Structure 1
Amino acid sequence: MSSASIKQGVNTYAEALHPEHAGDVLQEGERWATEEDMSTLRRVADKIPTAAYFVVLTEFCERFTYYGITGPFQNYISNGYQVPNSRPGAIGGGQQMATGLSNFFQFFCYLCPILGAIIADQWLGKYKTILLFSLVYILGNLVLTLTALPVSIRAGGALPGMVIAMITIGLGTGGIKANVSPMVAEQYSRFRPFVRRLKNGKEVLVDRELTIQSIFNWFYWAINVGGLSAIATTELEANVDFWAAYLLPTLMFVFCIVVFWLGRNKYIVSKPTGSIVIKAYRTGRAGLRNYRLAKKENRLVMNESGKKVSWIDYAKPSLAVDSSFMDWDDRFVDELRTAIRSCKIFLCYPIFWLCYGQISNNLISQSGQMNTGSVPNDIMQNIDPLCIIILIPVFDLLIYPGFRRCGLELRPVTRITIGFLVAALAMAYAAIIQHLVYTTGPYYTHPAEGENGFNHISAGLQVPAYILIAIAEIFASVTGLEYAYKQAPESMKSIVMSIFLFTNAGGSILAFCFNSIAVNPHLVENFAIVSGLMGAFTILFFVCFRHYDQRDADEIMDKTMFEKQANEY
C-alpha cells in the first residue's frame, strides 16, 4: 500500500473518531505532530481560510457603518442646529444628554447580543441570524438618516428619530455581534497540531491556538479599519450636514449584506443545537440542589487528586440519585462547567470598557475644549483605530513571534493584565491633560462658553492617550474575543461570546454613574477615578486568574496527547 493510501486511511479514521474534526486532513508535506515535536519545534499559525476573509470583510462593513454613525453623535446631540460661531449640532441637548444617550446606545448594543446568541444557538444558526438582524440594522440606519434631514431637525424630529434609530440599530448590532466573531473562527476547521515542512527544509509545528489568535488579530484589525469611517462622517458633518454623514454608512451597510450573502457557499455553518439556555439553567439548578443534598447527607464526592468536585458536577446523571428527569449527559455538564469557568475571567472587563468608552464621549468633549485648528474635534477619536491598524500587524508578525522565539509565551491572562494596566495609564494621562486644559486660559475651568469656546492648548497633546488605549485594546479586547471563543464548548460559543460582549454593556452602566462628574469643571476627577478603578481591578484580576495560563496550557497538552493516542489506536 502506498504512503498516500495509508495517509488517506489515517485521515478517514480520524474523521470517524472525531466527526467535529473533519477538517483535520493532512496535506502534502505535512504529518501529525509527536510529543517530541510539541516540545521542540517552533510553533506557527496556519494560513487563514478564504471563507474567513468573507466574514472579516462583512465585519469591516458593519463596523464602518457603526462607527460612521456614532462618530458625529456627540456633536449631533450636544450642540444646537446651525448656531452661529458654534460647532455643528442638531438637538442642542448639552454634553450630559449627549454622554448619557451615547452610553445608553452602547449599553443597548452590547445587551442585545444575548438575544442574538439565543436565536442563533436554538433556532436559526449563525448565518441566518446575521442576515435577519442585518435587515433590522439597515432599517435603523434609514430612520437615522431621514430624521437628520434639515426639515426634520427644524420640526423637532431629530431627538425621537435618534432614539428610535438607537433601539433598532442596537437590536441589529446585537444579532450580528454575537455570531460574527465565533463564525469567523469556525471557518478554520483543523484541530490537531501537525508538522509542516517549509521550502527551506525546516519543520514547524502548526498550532491551532496560534491560528485562532491570528484570526482574531486580523478580525480586530478589520474592525478598526472600518472604524476610520468616522473621519469621513465627521468631515461630512462639518462641511455638508448630518444627513450626508449618516447616508454614507447606510449605503455601506447595503454593501455589507451583499458581501456576506456572496460568501454563502464557502462558509462552514454550524447547525443550531437546541434550547441551550434553558437546558443550562435546568442543569445548574439540578447541580445546586444535588450538591446541597449531598453536603447535608455527608456524601460529597472526591476527584482523582483527592479534592471535592465542583457543585456543577452533581448535575451529572452518573452522580445523581435520580436521573430520570435529566435530558443531558455527563459531557454536557463538563461543557457547562468549562463555559462557567471561562466567563469568570470576564468579570473585570466592565471597568476596561469604562476606560475605552471615554474616547467616544469625554475625550471628544475634552478636545472640544482645546485648539484643534481647522480639524473637527470629534475626528480625534480616529487616532485610536489608526494606531490599531498599524500596531496589530506588528504584534502579530513581530512581537508575539519574537517572544515565542525567546521561549516566552504571552498567554491570555498575561496579555489581558498588560492591557488593563495600559488602559489605567491612558486614563491617568487624560486626567493630566484635562488639568492642563483647566489651567490654561482664556476660559480655564469653563471652556466652550466664549465666542471661540476653547482654551489655548493644542489638542495634539491628546495623542498619547489614544495610542495607549489602542495598545490596551490589542492586549485586552482582542485576547478577550479569542479567549471567549477558544474556551467555550462547541454548543455554547455564541452564548459565551455574547456574555463577553455584555461586559461592554456593563461598562456603559458604570459610565451612567459618572454622568454627574462628566462635565466641567469635574472632568479631572472623572478621568482620575476611572484610572484608579482600572488600576485596582488590574491587580485584582491578576491575583485571581494568574494560574489560568498554566492550567489552560496543561489542558491543551493533555487534550493533544489524548487525541494522538486515540489516532494511534
Structure 2
Amino acid sequence: MSTDKQISTESSMDLGVHKNDELHPEHSDDYLREGERWATEHDLSTMRRVGDRLPVAAFFVVLTEFCERFTYYGITGPFQNYIQNGYKVPGSRPGAINGGQHLATGLGNFFQFWCYLTPILGAIIADQWLGKFKTILVFSVIYIIGDLILTLTALPSSIRHGGALPGVVIAMITIGLGTGGIKSNVSPMVAEQYGRYRPFVRTLKNGKEVLVDRELTVQSIFNWFYWAINVGGLSAIATTELEAHVDFWPAYLLPTLMFVVCVIVFWLGRKKYVITKPTGSIVLKAYRVISHGLRNFRMAKKENRLVLNEDGTKVTWLEYAKPAYSVDGGSVDWDNKFVDELSTAIRSCKIFLCYPVFWLCYGQMSNNMVSQSGQMNTGSVPNDIMQNIDPLCIIILIPIFDWVIYPGFRRCGLELRPVTRITIGFLIAALAMAYAAIIQHIIYTKPPYYDAAGDGNNGFNDISAGIQVPGYILIAISEVFASVTGLEYAYKRAPESMKSIVMSLFLFTNAGGSILAFCFNSIAANPHLVENFAIVSGLMGAFTILFFVCFRHYDKREAQEAEDRMLKDSNEKNDKPIVSEEY
C-alpha cells in the first residue's frame, strides 16, 4: 500500500497494521472525535451500548465481496439444471449435460467441498508470504480464468460436441481455488478496517450519551458483510432467467464480467485499507508448538513433575510448550504469548465442530430443493429461481435484526450471546428440513407422475412450487442466527496473528457438510427424497442439543471476558488526542 507516511501503531498491537495517520485516523483507536470521551468504569456498567459507524475502507471490502458473491451465485445458480438435464429437450427444463440428479448433486457437493477446502491454502499463503490484500488479488486472477473456461465450454457448439462436462469440472476446480483464496482473507480484512479498541462515550444529537462498544461494532460489520453476500446472491435470478430464455453461455458471461468489476473495485480502495503484514507460517509453527507441548507434558507426567496453577488446578498440556515450563531443556522460537494465543484459537475452534451438519442442511437448498421445485408447477419462471427466496429474505432480515431485534433484546437485558444465537439457528435449520420432508411427501401423493416427477422427460406433479416458500424463509432465518454469528465468532475469538487461519477453519466446516452430503447421495433422488430430508432434519436436531449442552457455558465466559477487557481498556491513563469529526 502506497502512502505518504506509514507507521506501525500501538493500537494495532505491533501486528503490522499500517495507516496514513494524517488521512485516516480511524485506523487507530488512539483518538477521540468531537463529542466523545473515554468510558469510565461507571459508564461500562450503566450506559446503553451501541455499535460505531463503519469506516469507508470497510465499505470497499464489502462492495468487493458483493461483486465476488454476485459471480459465485450467478454461476452456481444454473448448475443443477445445467448438469442434470439434456440440452434443448422439448418440454423439459433447461439443461446441457443430461447427467441426471445423482451426477448434478454429486458435482454440486464436490464443488462446495472444494470451495471450502481451499481457504486453508489461501490463509497459509496470506500469512506466510503475501498478506491478505495481495493474496486476494492473485486468487482473483485464478477465479477469472475459471469463469472464462465455464463460459466458453457452455457455448452451443461445445455442448453439442461433449465439451460441457469436462469444462464444468475444470471450471469448478479453478473457480474453487480462486474463491478459497479470497474467502479466507476478505472477511477478516473487512473487520480489520475498524481499528478502535478502547470503549468510549459519544454524545448524540439529542444530548444523550451512549457507550460505543467494539464488540457490537464487529457484530454489525459481519451482519452487513453477510447482507452484501446475499445481495450479490440475487444474481442467480438473472442467470437462471438467461438460462431459461436465452442460453447458458450468456448466463455465465454476466457473472464473469461482474468479477472484472470486483477486481477493479478492490484495487481502487487500496490506499484506504488497513493492511496487515504476513506474520509467518502459523500452521507450521502451531504444529511445532503442539508437538513440543505434548512431548513435554508426557515427560512431566512420567517423571511426576506436573505443574499446578495458583488455584491448584493442573496446567493444560499445551502450556508445557511455553519456554518457562519446558522440561527437555531445548530452545524454542516462540514465546508464552504465542502459546496462549494458540490455546485461545484451539478452544474457540471447538465451537465449529457441529457446523458441518448445519451446512448439510444449507446445501439442500442449492441441489435437492432445486430438484424438488422441478417436480412442481413453477408457472412461467424457471424452477431454480426458487432458491433466491433465501437471499431475498436475508436482505430484509439482517437490517431488522441489526436495528430492531438485537438492540431490543439488549434494552430488555437479554442480550443474545453467540452460543444462544447459533443454537437458535441450528434449531430453525432442523425445522426447515422437516418442512422440506413434508413438502416432498405431498409431492409424491400428487398426480400425474407421483414419486417419479421430474425424472428423465417426466414433467411436474399437480402442486404449486409456492408451497416451498416457508422452507426457504426458515433457512434464511437460520443463516442470520448461525452463519453470520459463526463468521463473527471466528474473527472475534481468533488471536490477531491467526485470524485468516481460524476463519479458514470455520469455512472448512462447509466442506465437512459437503462430505456428509456425499453420504446421502444414494437417497438424493426419487423416490427417496422424503427419507433424505427427514434424516437430515433429525441429524440437525440431535446436533443442536449436543451443541447447546457442550458449549452453553461459553456465553457466560465470553460476557465476563468482554467486560474485563472493556474495564481494562477504560482504565488506561494515556492522554489521547482529539481529531475532527471529518476524516
- Tell me if both proteins adopt one fold, taking TM over 0.5 as the criterion: yes
Q: Is the 8 Å Cα contact of residues 300 and 327 (structure 2) preserved in structure 1?
A: no
Q: Secondary structure at the match of 2:210?
A: strand
Q: Which residue of 2 aligns with 1:155?
A: 161
State the AA in 1 paired with 2:508. F
- Paired with 1:130 and 1:461, the residues of 2 have a C-alpha distance of 41
Q: Displacement of 1:124 after TM fit?
A: 0.2
Q: Which residue, out of 169, 172, 176, partners 2:175?
A: 169
> After TM superposition, which residue ranges in structure 1, 4 or more long, deviate above 6 angstroms?
none
Distance 1:504 1:220 in 2: 16
| Contact 1:431–1:528 (8 Å) recurs in 2 | yes
* Conserved? CA contact 1:147–1:153, under 8 Å: yes
What is aligned with 1:289?
Answer: 295
In the alignment, structure 2 segments of 5+ residues that lack a partner are 1-6, 16-26, 576-583
- Secondary structure (helix, strand or coil) at the match of 1:445 reads helix
**1:448 to 2:467 alignment:** no
Alignment correspondent of 2:55? 49
CA drift of 1:28 comes to 1.3
Shift of 1:302: 1.9
The residue that corresponds to 2:317 in the other structure is: 311
* 61, 68, 90: which one aligns with 1:62: 68
2: distance between equivalents of 1:74 and 1:450? 14
Q: Deviations over 1:445-492 (max 9, x none)?
A: 111258661110110000000000000000000000000000000000
Q: Deviations over 1:84-124 (max 9, x none)?
A: 11111100100000000000000000000000000001110
Contact 1:64 1:228 in 2 (8 A): yes
Aligned to 2:275: 269
**Displacement, 1:297?**
1.7
Counterpart-to-counterpart distance in 2, 1:133 and 1:406: 45
Partner of 1:353: 359
CA distance in 2, matches of 1:400, 1:386: 20
Distance in 2, Cα, partners of 1:526 & 1:194:
51
Which of 276, 293, 305 is equivalent to 1:299? 305
Residue of 472, 481, 485 corresponding to 2:478: 472
CA contact (8 A) 1:443 1:449 kept: no
Instruction: Confirm or deny that 1:279 pairs with 2:285.
Output: yes
Q: CA deviation at 1:562?
A: 2.8
> Residues 168-212 of structure 1, C-alpha deviation per residue, up to 9 Å, x if partnerless?
000000000000000000000001111111111111000000000
* 2:131 aligned partner, one-letter code: G
Aligned identity (percent) is 79
C-alpha distance in structure 1 between counterparts of 2:553 and 2:295, whole Å? 29
Would you say 1:225 and 2:226 are equivalent positions? no
Q: One-letter code of the match for 1:371?
A: N
Q: 235, 242, 250: which is aligned to 2:241?
A: 235
Name the SS for the 1:334 alignment partner: helix
Instruction: Choose the corresponding residue for 1:27, options 24, 28, 33.
Output: 33
CA distance in 1 between partners of 2:153 and 2:46 (Å): 62
TM-score (normalised: structure 1): 0.96
1:77 matched to 2:83? The reply is yes
Structure 1 unmatched runs, 5+: 1-11
Q: Cα 1:86–1:421, aligned 2, differ >3 Å: closer, same or farther?
A: same
Alignment match, 1:185: 191
Rate the CA distance shift 1:450–1:106 in 2: closer, same or farther, 3 A.
closer
1:433 counterpart (428, 439, 455): 439
Q: Letter of the 1:199 partner, please give it.
A: K
Mapped to 2, the partners of 1:441 and 1:320 lie a distance apart of 73
Farther-moved stretch of structure 1 (227-236 vs 313-322)? 313-322
Q: Describe the SS at the equivalent of 1:46.
A: coil
Q: Are the structure 2 counterparts of residues 114 and 431 from structure 1 closer, same or farther at C-alpha, using a change threshold of 3 Å?
A: same
Match of 1:495 in 2: 501
Counterpart residue number, 1:510: 516
Question: 2-side partners of 1:16 and 1:334: how far apart?
Answer: 20
The equivalent residue for 1:344 is 350
Does 2:118 align with 1:112? yes
Q: Deviations along 1:344-377, whole A, 9 cap, x unmatched? A: 0000000000000000000000000011111100
Question: Is the counterpart of residue 423 in structure 1 residue 429 in structure 2?
Answer: yes
310-319 or 171-180: which moved more? Answer: 310-319
Whether the aligned pair in 2 keeps the contact of 1:109 and 1:174 (CA below 8 Å) is yes
The question of whether the paired residues in 2 share the 8 Å contact of 1:110 and 1:502 is answered with yes
Secondary structure of the corresponding residue to residue 32 of structure 2: coil
Structure 1 vs Structure 2 CA RMSD? 1.5
Are the equivalent residues in 1 in contact too, given 2:393–2:473 (CA < 8 A)? yes
Q: What is the DSSP-based 3-state SS (H/G/I as helix, E as strand, rest coil) of the residue aligned with 1:400?
A: helix
Following the alignment from structure 1 to structure 2, what is the Cα–Cα distance between the partners of residues 306 and 190? 37
